[in-house]
Structure formats: C-alpha cells, structure tokens
Amino acid sequence: MVKPIKEQKAVLIILLSNIFIAFLGIGLIIPVMPSLMNIMHLSGSTMGYLVAVFAVSQLIMSPFAGRWVDRYGRKKIIIIGLLLFGVSELIFGLGTDVSVFYLSRILGGISAAFIMPGVTAYVADITSVQERPKAMGYISAAISLGFIIGPGIGGFVAEYGIRLPFFLAGIIAFMACLTSIFILKEPLTKEQLAAVSADAGQTNFVDDFKKSLKPLYFIAFILVFVLAFGLSAYETVFSLFSDHKFGFTPKDIAMIITISSIFGVVVQVFMFGKMVDFLGEKKLIQLCLIVGAIFAVASTLISSYMAVLVVTCFVFLAFDLLRPALTTFLSKAGGKEQGFVAGMNSTYTSLGNIVGPAMGGMLFDININYPYLFAAVIMVIGLGITVIWKENRLAESLAQ
C-alpha cells in the first residue's frame, strides 16, 4: 500500500531512524574493541567468534522473522527487534565473562533478524517500484550514518568508561522502541496481512530456501553472501588491525570510520540513484566488487594514517553501494513476497557473517594481513559469479 507523499516521508524517517539506531549501537563499540580485547585477554579468534555467533542466531531466526513479518505485521516485529536489541546491549555492558558476551550477541542477532526484514518490507509496502531504489539507498545511508556517529560517540564516551557505550546504545534502543509504538502504523490492512499470511503459512524454511535457488533470486542472494562475507571479514579485524599494526587509539579508529562513512553516505544519497540509472544494477555491482578487492589488498601495503583513511573510504564506499543495489533488485523481484525476500536476504547475510568473522579472526591470529587478502579473494570470486548473471532473463522474470 503506497502512502501519500507527506505521510510516507514521516513514516520513512521513523523507519530510517530505527535502522540508524541499530547500527549506531553496533558502531559505538568498534573503537573500544581492542581495549576490550586487551582487558579481557581475548584472542583474535574469540573476537571473530563473538561476531559470528551474532550471525548464527540471526541466521536461525531470519526465516521465522521473515514469515512473521508477513503474518503478524511489520510494526510488531520491528518493535520486538528494538526491544531485544536494547536488552542485548545492556547485558554486554554488564558482562564480566565471555559466556555473558556470547548471550548478548545471540540476543543481538535475533534482534537484527527482526529489525532488518521488518523495516525493508515496510519500506517496500509504502513505496512504488519507481521510488524504491531511492528508498533502499536511504536505508543503506542510514546504516552508514549509524557507523558515522556511532564510532565517534563510542570513542568519546569510552574515555569515561569502556562499558558506557553499551549502556548508551541500550537506552537509545529503548527510546526508539517507544517512539515506534506510538508513531508507526501497520502499513497493511488486516485483510492484506491475512492474504499474505495464508500464502506464507503454506511454506517453511526448506521451501523458502529452495525458492531462493531459482535463477531469479539465486545469483543476487549469492552476491548478498559475498558482500556479507567480505565486509564482515574486513570490519571484524579493522580496529584490531589498526591497533596492532599502527597503534591507533580508539579516537583515531573512530575518526577513520567516521570520515569513511560520511564519504559513503554522501555518495549514496546524491549519486546512488543516478549510478543505477547510468550503469544498471549489474555493472554497478561489478564495479563495487572490483574497487573493494583492489583496496582491500591495498590495505596491507600502506602505513601512514592518511593512506589508511583514503583506502578505508573506498572500501566502505564499495560495500555501501553494493548493499542497496542488491536490496533494490531483490525487492523488485519479490513482488508481494517482501517478507520472504527480506527474510532470505537476512539468511544469506547471516551465512556470510558467520563464516567471514570466524575466518577473519583465525587468519588474524596467523598474520594480521591475511583477513584483508582473504576478503579480496572472496570479492573476486563474487565478481566471477556476476559473469553468469543474465540480465535479460532477470528482466523477463520481473515482467511476468
């Protein structure tokens, strides 16, 4: 149900705020990861596993959340996700044992499985096919914006206590939850939810996974996996890499991520729609994979602060543009099955987020350069996969 422009803008702002807050909470902790690692005497592998367990719980919950989005409504699932996210952050802040950290990350993964498909499906409901690429670009920009402000706040707040960023993230999440309860309205009527739910109830995760293997979806979902794998492997060790190799402080790391994210957001907001129109989704995705691979390798060859900043800007930009390009295609292909598409998108993202951080952490313990080189290899493989992506076949499928 496409909403009137004024109402649509107000709702879109709330939805973007929810995504922003979720990633603000994630971004808050990035600068303090090396300090936490040193204080708790954790290995690179353990840090990788803490990221991976988040993805495991997200993977397990994503197919259920995708169906619940269609069955119980977008608003309810988003609110539950925000509530769980707040709880998970508070638990992490209070934790004094690795097992408590794992519990927090499990809850965090479940919250992500609720928030992402809920917001994506909601946006698809209130926008037309023509408006959707721009809206998906805004979602990606909101994610990046969370990383912009998050690390900056995290680096500053950590000066007053290493656990304070986690408590701040929890409080902000609870505030977002309350705001969504009172302002958001379910975009689908009871009749529409009943119709979508009836279709959803006839399938299960196995059926959904089989459907994701169809030519219309499969290449895009594999690229979603590649994106998540490469990005998570890179990001998991970024702060650790910067700390161990260059001796950067939490504020130094926060500044690099902040500037890189601003660069990505500006390009997304002002250029993404034009780039899709000019290049098309396939060529834009290929360009992002090429740029990401080149600069991931460059990350291992540089030494100065400015060089790290420039390289990180382009790596993050490549990932920031790749995400909305894939999401836009999938939302178009999904038609009325936005819950299925969003759920499986989250599933494939989780698969990448499980393997990427785990591999990145283990490779970091062997050689601090290996995670970046490994991420580059994965992106090159993704580029090879796009060669068999037949645009004309996909266009015909979308027209049906």
- CA 196 to chain CA centroid, Å, is 26
Q: What is the pLDDT along the chain (400 residues), one digit of tens a residue?
A: 545 445 567 788 888 888 888 777 666 666 677 777 778 787 777 777 777 787 788 778 877 887 788 778 888 899 999 999 999 999 988 888 888 888 988 998 899 889 888 888 888 777 777 777 677 777 777 776 776 677 677 777 877 888 888 888 899 899 889 988 888 887 666 666 666 665 555 556 677 777 777 766 777 788 788 777 777 777 667 777 877 777 777 777 777 877 887 887 788 778 877 887 888 777 888 888 899 899 989 988 887 888 888 988 888 888 878 877 777 777 766 666 666 776 777 778 778 777 777 788 788 888 888 888 888 888 888 888 877 765 544 444 444 4
Using alpha carbons, select from 211, 230, 203 the residue that is nearest to residue 349.
230
Report the greatest alpha carbon distance in the chain. Answer: 60
Same domain as 196, residue 245: no
Matching residue, tokens 């979720």: 22
Orientation of helix 215-241 relative to helix 391-399, angle to 10°: 120
Same domain as 230, residue 173: no
Same domain as 276, residue 249: yes
Same domain as 256, residue 368: yes
Q: How many CA atoms lie within 13 A of 370 on its CB side?
A: 14
Matching residue, tokens 């954790």: 42
- CA 259 to chain CA centroid, Å, is 19
Same domain as 85, residue 99: yes
- CA 261 to chain CA centroid, Å, is 14
Assess contact for 54 and 106: CB atoms under 8 A: yes
Same domain as 118, residue 236: no
Domain boundary among 202, 226, 250: 202
Our count of domains for the chain comes to: 2
Same domain as 163, residue 38: yes
Domain boundary among 202, 232, 263: 202
Matching residue, tokens 């543009």: 321
Token representation of residue 63: 């197919």
Check which CATH number belongs to the domain holding 249 and give it: 1.20.1250.20
Cα torsion angle, 357, 362, 367, 368, sign: positive
Same domain as 196, residue 224: no
Same domain as 179, residue 135: yes
Cα torsion angle, 41, 47, 50, 53, sign: negative
Same domain as 298, residue 275: yes
Same domain as 87, residue 15: yes
Question: Whole domain around residue 172: which residue ranges?
Answer: 1-202
Q: Which residues of 136-171 are buried (b: 16+ CB within 10 A; e: fewer)?
A: bbbbbbbbbbbbbbbbbbbbebbeeebbbbbbbbbe
303-308 contacts: CB < 8 A, separation 24 or more? Answer: 303/246, 305/246, 305/248, 305/252, 308/242, 308/246, 308/256
Same domain as 230, residue 134: no
Domain boundary among 148, 171, 202: 202
- CA 82 to chain CA centroid, Å, is 15
